[in-house]
Chains A and B, each alone.
Chain A
């Protein structure tokens, strides 16, 4: 019996030793620069290897109320023979997956979400591939210039092509506004307050607006919006703080606080995310939705999702059209092993044809200038003329290498100010104190 145990034990040790000799499953890959051959090869002539598979990750937003991307991706697979593993979830989950992967130099993804707020951080870290190496000459000529600029790194190379032109627009309930005695939307912020007050007093609506000011990442989008529409600044190009010294930034935040104090904005907005606030607007609870997604119009006119079908119109933001754009692009990670196929995917999904298909289905704004005068699309979305007029005045989020810290500290301080627990100036000063280690860091 003892001899059997002895042999069993020896066998076990041998098995363990053998398993230790097995090759390692993975090795950390280093950034791969495209070879000259890869760069010189014209994109159109490049044949994708048979059954090449790429992994694509990008968010699924509330704007995507109809299934548009999956069918389009299936079409891409059929036309190119490239297989796509698609990962879609909410923005936060996508960000949680992508950022550590990019920062650790992984190669799990071939096409990733590239948010406007990440541009400087990613450009500086070299996490993405310059697309100039893959795209044909003059490829971006027909795109909205602002969208190209937002994803161009300081060295002048393009690192992302916009798939979601998420420029925000000013929506108002024209029927309820008329009921309150006004035929035109507000041209100034003071008029917005006056009209809101009149509509609330007349019992037409509960509130002038339903904000989404919950303490979360997107609260700093709102901070940018109110800063921009009041002509304020967050930081200069060197990363030096302006937000705590600029009177216009202060005025923007004070105005937002006063909207709550005066009963114009729904106080519950302090606990709402965008989807909840949007639903309230579509239920007829409020008069204005100052920062709505472009697809909101299509949703507002869908009677299955909206109680105000036919009542909603779009006006210019009451600041002469200044507004915020939150575009999201596709980028190729520096360590992707399938860059050619990844570029083909990006080219296909952001093409004029794809823009038309997706715009028809969910009203997403095109990135190609010519489509704003396309007869078929303008017949479908006559309000796009207003959109296009505003596109010249929109600005993206601050591009700072410390944007994550800016949001982390900013959202707590801004939320405290909105809740009336500190003044706007105190909030901005506290932000500056909390971020002091990043002062004048680009």
Chain B
């Protein structure tokens, strides 16, 4: 065998070794899934990102052109978009605060043993399991100014003298939209926190009790630090969902009104993309908002990670 023959054999051996190694075999098994993810997630992601750098109006194709950051620059001066961003920020942040406080509180109660515990846990998850459209339609009727349950309840309790047109008031409309969202999303926090609570060993509490720790101190120094990573993840998810998910809620209950005060980001994207048919601009709205969401995302992740390490 000459030297080139030896070299070829060596190359073949090396290639064979590479392909039959454990890593490559594992990689080959997940490759079909990776290809699917690439096609379903990555390609549309890149395509829509590319779209956001273009003027692409379906009804005015003659004006289509690559405009670089033009859409993004225009967005920074678009009062309607900035108003939507503010509305979404208020909606999302206030919702998260209530969802976490209520979710943790309910989880603490459900973590205790009582008769009918399983039934109550099942019941608690109902709002979250309810389709978003049904939830929105239900709250719309509750808030109806002429025959809604909210007005009826408040006048019968003597809180109000006369029926109010809640959804015509920007502050009330936003508050009621948040209430509807909190009602639906709190069970998600509860489930995750409940799962975290059940993972805390009883021995920690027993030791604390032996040391004379009060219930509050047990919560503060045992429960809270141990559920914090889960709470942080929940807060992150709820914040992101607060920006991207509540389309049905806002569309059905307020339609973005009164005078655009509850026009959340998804409604703005919808109007720009599917009503005005400005696909490039609509994509830029989505990407700029996602970029801004990275700020709380990084904060949450860093905080959660730091707490885990310190504990």
Contact = CB atoms under 8 A, between A and B. Distances in A.
Interface stretch (A238-246, A373-381, A413-421): A413-421
Interface in A264-321: 266-268, 270-271, 276, 280, 285
B294 to A, nearest CB: 28
Nearest to A217: B275
B19 interface: yes
B195 to A, nearest CB: 37
A390 B301 CA distance: 66
B10 interface: no
Contact of B31 (A12, A285, A404, A415): A12
Interface string A251-274: 000000000000000111011000
B25 interface: yes
A349 B144 CA distance: 38
A215 B272 CA distance: 16
B25 A215 contact: no
B110 to A, nearest CB: 36
Given A12-B28, A100-B274, A271-B165, A5 B257 contact: no
A9 B25 contact: yes
A8 B24 CA distance: 12
Contact of A214 (B25, B60, B257): B257
A191 interface: no
Given A100-B274, A268-B168, A270-B257, A125 B28 contact: no
A77 interface: no
A6 B16 CA distance: 8
Nearest to A118: B59
Interface in B248-288: 254-260, 263, 271-272, 274-277
Given A215-B255, A215-B258, A267-B165, A9 B277 contact: no
Interface in B37-62: 58-61
A9 B274 contact: no
Given A5-B20, A268-B168, A419-B168, A121 B257 contact: no
Nearest to B143: A271
A12 B27 CA distance: 11
B146 A99 contact: no
A408 B269 CA distance: 12
B145 A271 contact: yes
B177 interface: no
Nearest to B276: A404
A407 interface: yes
B146 A103 contact: no
A5 B25 contact: yes
B167 interface: yes
A96 interface: yes
B59 A267 contact: no
A214 to B, nearest CB: 5
A415 B59 contact: no
B225 to A, nearest CB: 46
B80 interface: yes
B28 A280 contact: no
Interface string B2-30: 00000000000000100110001100100
Contacts of A280: 146
A412 B25 contact: no
A405 B257 contact: no
Contacts of B276: 404-405, 408
A268 B165 contact: yes
Interface residues of B, number: 35
Nearest to B253: A271
B140 to A, nearest CB: 9
B275 A408 contact: yes
A267 B146 contact: no
B43 to A, nearest CB: 15
A216 interface: yes
Contacts of A267: 145, 165, 168
Given A125-B59, A404-B59, A407-B275, A415 B257 contact: yes
A335 B259 CA distance: 39
A184 B137 CA distance: 39
B145 A268 contact: yes
B40 to A, nearest CB: 15
A103 B59 contact: yes
Contact of B24 (A9, A214, A405, A419): A9
Contact of A9 (B28, B60, B271): B28
Nearest to A267: B165
Contact of A215 (B35, B61, B146, B254): B254
Interface string A383-414: 00000000000000000011011011000110
Contacts of B263: 412
Interface in B146-171: 146, 165-168
Given A401-B59, A408-B271, A421 B255 contact: no
B267 to A, nearest CB: 10
A29 interface: no
A404 B275 contact: yes
Contacts of B277: 99-100, 103, 404
B145 A121 contact: no
A271 B141 CA distance: 11
A406 B35 CA distance: 43
11 contacts: A6-B20, A8-B28, A104-B58, A125-B61, A216-B257, A268-B165, A270-B168, A285-B146, A404-B275, A408-B275, A416-B259
Given A100-B274, A271-B166, A407-B275, 17 more contacts: A2-B20, A6-B16, A13-B28, A16-B31, A95-B274, A99-B58, A100-B277, A103-B277, A121-B59, A125-B59, A267-B168, A270-B257, A271-B145, A271-B167, A271-B254, A415-B259, A415-B260
Q: Which 8 A-B pairs have the closest CB atoms?
A: A215-B257, A103-B58, A268-B145, A416-B259, A271-B167, A216-B255, A270-B168, A404-B276
